[in-house]
Amino acid sequence: MNIVIVGAGEVGQHLADILSREEHAVTVVDPDPSKSRRMTESLDVQALVGDGTRADTLTSAGASTADLVIAVSDDDHVNMLTSVVAKKLGAERVILRLKDTQVLTDFRYFYKDALGFHVVLSTEELAAESILSTVRERHALEVESFADGKVQLRRLPLRESSELTSAPLGELRIPPGVLVVALQRDREFLVPSGEDELRVGDQVYVLGQTRDLDAFERAAGETVVWKRSAVIMGAGSIGREIARRLADSPGIEVFVIEKDRARAQALSSESRGAVTVLVGDATDFTLLQEERIATASVFVATTNDDEINMISCMLAKGHGAERTVALIQKSGYREVYDFLEGVDQAISPRALCAAHILRYVRAGSPQAISVIGQGAAEVLELQTTIKDAIKVKKMGLPKGAVVGAIVHEESVSIATGDSVVRPGDTLIVFTVVEKLEEVERVLRPGA
């Protein structure tokens, strides 16, 4: 593939290193001559000094004929403008990295059309989701969000016998609004039919809206509220996001430690009592002893200072915290953390972003927005080019493909066989990789 990377920061360098070793033709654009020089000296890539928002610069980099343009600079506005220009020049696919995706709230499809990106990734959201998965480890093993967060895909383990393992899928009373789109059994990846039965030990992929998926988890045997406590150090953007989302989770008591009084008061006000906010420093021995750190199920350090995160995790572990998670900005520190007593998990937002982008690079379809089951299946976001309205069950999709959700303008609904797809609707489709081309032919005739 011909790939243009705009931004030679940590994410850009990491991507360029891996993609060049996979023998892709990679060109990196960055305004800093020293970064460009280091790239050409250490990696098998082309480096271009220039402004990635300019058409002449992107043309020189080959964006007009590129299979993929990846906008990963440290400036959201630069990345957004790069996306617009690259798509207008003719880039086949554009991946946009944003630190703050709030601007997209309720207008994701408007911005997708206006900016021309295919996939948008937020380093902060990825870090928050990874940490949340650790805190909620009793439940979903993996969570992917689509359609501005209105639709989720969860991977759930079936740990015990339940009503879900009592009969074929077609006979089960699955909560409305939930689709079982796939299951992983041992090393086999399957898209089940109504005649298939779920078994204990299966990992099930289910798609739906949050409330309905919670009901499915309860049907899967997760009926006992699992009491946990999470202590979060730092009320920055990632800390606030984690606290906000954990506060909505049953059975989890949330504490946040923030030394900036104004920031702590702001979080306390917006959480309306759902989160206990403490003003202080998590490296303070007295605070750790007094404020229930010793009984914490999970301690999460989310400040912008890697060393402070490391020290606070070690102290919390020493005071009895069951599990500690440290956010790290310098991904090179991850190897150091592996040797430290007291830090159970180190999470790098930039490394997570790079890993997700690599999944899209390796996807079989340019419409892919997620790669599932180590590449066995993909989730596509396709705008239909059909001429007339049609029911999902009449579309002629191949076995192994499921329409999960229908986006009409900005409204989203979980699909059933009787759901009507209109010309121009966007569909969230789950499909095994062998059926990618056939799915695209059915949903985008003539495209």
Residue range 23-35, pLDDT digits in tens: 899 999 999 999 9
Q: Lowest-pLDDT range, 98-112, 283-297, 426-440?
A: 283-297
Short-list 293, 275, 289, 236, CA closest to 259: 236
Residue 45 one-letter amino acid: V
Short-list 367, 366, 371, 384, CA closest to 421: 384
Which residues in the chain are classed under CATH 3.30.70.1450? 126-219, 356-443
pLDDT at 323 over 70: yes
Phi, psi of 263 (to 5 degrees): -65, -40
pLDDT at 230 over 80: yes
Q: Which CATH class for the 228-350 domain? A: alpha beta
Phi, psi of 341 (to 5 degrees): -80, 130
Three-class DSSP labels, 373-409: CCCCEEEEEEECCCCCCEEHHHCCCCCCEEEEEEEEC
Q: Which CATH class for the 356-443 domain? A: alpha beta
Domain 2-117 of CATH type 3.40.50.2000: no
Instruction: Say what the pLDDT of residue 63 is.
Output: 97
Instruction: Say what the pLDDT of residue 33 is.
Output: 95
Mean per-residue pLDDT, 141-160? 79
From residue 431, give the alpha-carbon distance in Å to each of 118, 147, 368.
18, 17, 10
Task: Yes or no: say if 165 and 200 are a contact pair by the CB < 8 Å rule.
Answer: yes
Q: Name the range with the highest mean pLDDT among 9-23, 98-112, 151-165, 391-405.
A: 391-405
Task: Sort 446 into a burial class: Cβ within 10 Å, 0-12 / 13-18 / 19+.
Answer: exposed
pLDDT band at 55; cut points 50, 70, 90: very high
Instruction: Say what the pLDDT of residue 222 is.
Output: 58
Mean per-residue pLDDT, 314-326? 87
pLDDT at 366 over 60: yes
Instruction: Say what the pLDDT of residue 156 is.
Output: 84
User: Is residue 225 helix, strand or coil?
Assistant: coil
pLDDT band at 331; cut points 50, 70, 90: low
Owner of token pair 């920031």: 263
**Edge-to-edge strand ranges of the sheet holding 377-383:** 368-372, 377-383, 426-432, 401-408, 411-414
Name the average pLDDT for the chain: 86
pLDDT at 97 over 60: yes
In 107-169 the beta strands, taken as DSSP E runs, fall at 119-122, 142-146, 151-157
Short-list 59, 41, 46, 38, CA closest to 20: 46
d(CA 72, CA 426): 26
Task: Yes or no: say if 107 and 410 are a contact pair by the CB < 8 Å rule.
Answer: yes
Mean per-residue pLDDT, 197-219? 85
Phi, psi of 7 (to 5 degrees): 115, 115
Task: Yes or no: say if 107 and 147 are a contact pair by the CB < 8 Å rule.
Answer: no
* Helices H / strands E in the chain, number of each: 14, 24
pLDDT at 352 over 70: yes
pLDDT at 285 over 80: no
Mean per-residue pLDDT, 125-136? 77
DSSP 325-351: EEE-SSGGGHHHHTT-TT--EEE-HHH
pLDDT band at 47; cut points 50, 70, 90: very high
The long-range contacts involving 418-421, CB below 8 angstroms and separated by at least 24 positions, are 418/391, 418/392, 418/393, 419/391, 419/392, 420/389, 420/390, 420/391, 420/392, 421/384, 421/386, 421/389, 421/390, 421/391, 421/392, 421/395
Task: Yes or no: say if 255 and 230 are a contact pair by the CB < 8 Å rule.
Answer: yes
What tens digit of pLDDT does each residue of 386-441 get? 889 999 999 999 999 999 999 887 788 999 889 999 998 989 999 998 998 899 88
The CATH superfamily label for domain 126-219 reads: Regulator of K+ conductance, C-terminal domain (3.30.70.1450)
Owner of token pair 């650790």: 134
Tokens encoding 73: 């600079």
Which residues in the chain are classed under CATH 3.40.50.720? 2-117, 228-350
Tokens encoding 122: 């937020």
